[in-house]
Chains A and B, each alone.
Chain A
């Protein structure tokens, strides 16, 4: 039984801690994210969401504990990079490239041909709303929302097994938010992609994610399977907290 559970877990966190200036910004004794789960990460500013993402992507070193992706420590093995894509912020974009060049480049890292990427990109025509492709602009000249679109699509397009998005709904317009929700839901339903999304929008998160992790001061204080009452429960929590 124990064995079966381990094989099924995509991310396993053990006794993870990160300390800045004596403050524990992330403190997670144990967390398991199973393959195919869609997990929403919520919490007020400073709760430690982005720090947790960065540790999962091996961008900062934990002070204690470890993160296993498919049973391998992300800090010691590079294997996770072969099935993980992510978009946290503009620091992930090469801003002097055109969007097309960026897609070709990230695609080439996954051995996808240009033709393949061009055909993939047609799936996103609606999502891009005519503002990304063939506009003759570098990424740095795009608006924040459009930059986010480039980053999100670049990570979706590789068909990863594990997808991490930090506040993908921020900065983008309502129609795009709705399209993005649909895309993420489809991906996790059809291809069993494990997805971790953080957001400040409780509506979106409860709609997309089947499991919600609520962070406060570095700790995961709630771990709930989404049901019809979840949104109300979360709203109550946040309104009391202020």
Chain B
């Protein structure tokens, strides 16, 4: 049965309408993963050297032992963030005479194929072969392997189980991170427990009594059973669908009301962002980016304006860049409705500008505290804010007209390549380069202030000539509208 599922999944992939795109994406992703694994291998081969350098007065095996538990904690957090739930679209199978055990087994087994399960072995085997076997022999080695296998599988099924729980109720996520926080506090703040000692003691026992590794394997088996029975008892359509229905209220955004239809459109888009998973995660990214400056401004190595221009553009324009690059795909599900309704294309574009203006202003206000690093930071931020409003808005909307890729709003954001196409890659080039094309030559000849002024002036001119650009954008939109709508209809 598992084989039948596999072959049907295989067909689903190869026969999907946009197979070319997803294949290319998978190859890119594959290369990326391969590269990361190579890095892991590199670390693994030189682990003994690295440990020796970092902790010169300790036995390297002891250091290694004390780190294992931290590694698996990190692994758990990483998995929680990045690992995907296995998705067999099970809906068509539930009503057929296929036992739930078979479906659940399929979900469990296929989920194992992830790089997360490979890394622990790649990372430890070379080290163990080099250091452990010569000292303590093969028995200890197999003991370690058993433990690592057990902990890896435990992490695997625990994170799947937790993710499913969190999907139904976000409280579980709080509980999980709360627990981690308590452990952290107990260890580093109150010094009541020491995970490194626990880890060290446990693996030292393994060295002498390698059969103890059964404990770790048992842990994994128990976790597997928990996950299995949880999945099995929840294999109902209504329960697999996420979101316990809470009452949704109709919110109004009074500020936007004064802009008429344009304001209504912008308010709708704001609701789009707040009420759907993928754009919400984009918004979270934007908030994270507000800390971007700390990386550079703290570092005395950077002086001059170049890095502030870069950071300032990203921090004040992150919404334009991050959200705007997928326009109008966000609205792909109801694009037919937009085209056939009484919305004028001019108003449609004006609402985008309004949205960009509001968010960029907000971002600029949030970056004001960076004035701590000097007034020039604030001034450059303002210049880049003007640049973003003037130039980048138009640039992003120009590329939005070339974007025909549908996006499913309900899917999560991380490692989601849906809707990513050539237009995003091409867009990033002018977005990154143009301000530097203006700034760098002038700063090279020692007129950085003139460079900044040039950026500001171009930004201001663009803002004041928006009407002109708007008409251009609308006329391109008119000629591209069939192609965009057609692309969005392809699920």
- The interface of chain A, by Cβ under 8 A from chain B, is 54, 57-61, 78, 81-82, 84, 86, 88-98, 100-101, 105-106, 108-110, 136-138, 141
Contact = CB atoms under 8 A, between A and B. Distances in A.
Contacts of B334: 91-95
A81 B340 contact: yes
Interface of B: 245-250, 261, 264, 268, 271-272, 275-276, 333-337, 339-344, 409, 482, 485-486, 489
Contacts of B342: 81-82, 109-110
13 contacts: A58-B340, A59-B339, A59-B482, A91-B335, A91-B337, A92-B334, A92-B337, A94-B268, A96-B409, A105-B268, A108-B261, A109-B264, A109-B343
Contacts of A58: 339-340
| Secondary structure of the A contact surface, majority rule | loop
A92 B249 CA distance: 22
Contacts of B335: 91
Given A78-B344, A96-B409, A136-B248, A91 B271 contact: no
Closest 10 CB pairs of A and B: A136-B247, A92-B337, A91-B336, A57-B340, A109-B342, A96-B275, A61-B482, A81-B342, A98-B250, A94-B334
A96 B276 CA distance: 7
B324 to A, nearest CB: 19
Contacts of B249: 98, 136
Contacts of A61: 482
B341 A109 contact: yes
Contact of A141 (B245, B337, B343): B245
B341 A106 contact: yes
Contact of A137 (B245, B272, B339): B245
Contacts of B343: 109
Contacts of B409: 96
B6 to A, nearest CB: 32
Contact of B337 (A93, A108, A138): A93
Contacts of A92: 334, 336-337, 340
A94 B337 contact: yes
Contacts of A93: 334, 337
Given A105-B268, A109-B261, 9 more contacts: A58-B339, A91-B333, A91-B336, A92-B334, A96-B272, A100-B250, A105-B264, A136-B247, A138-B248
Contacts of A89: 336
Contacts of B247: 136
Contacts of A95: 333-334
B340 A59 contact: yes
B340 A101 contact: no
Nearest to A136: B247
A81 B275 contact: no
Contacts of A84: 340
A194 B246 CA distance: 41
Contacts of A82: 342
Most buried by A among B248, B261, B268, B489: B248
Most buried by B among A58, A90, A94, A141: A94
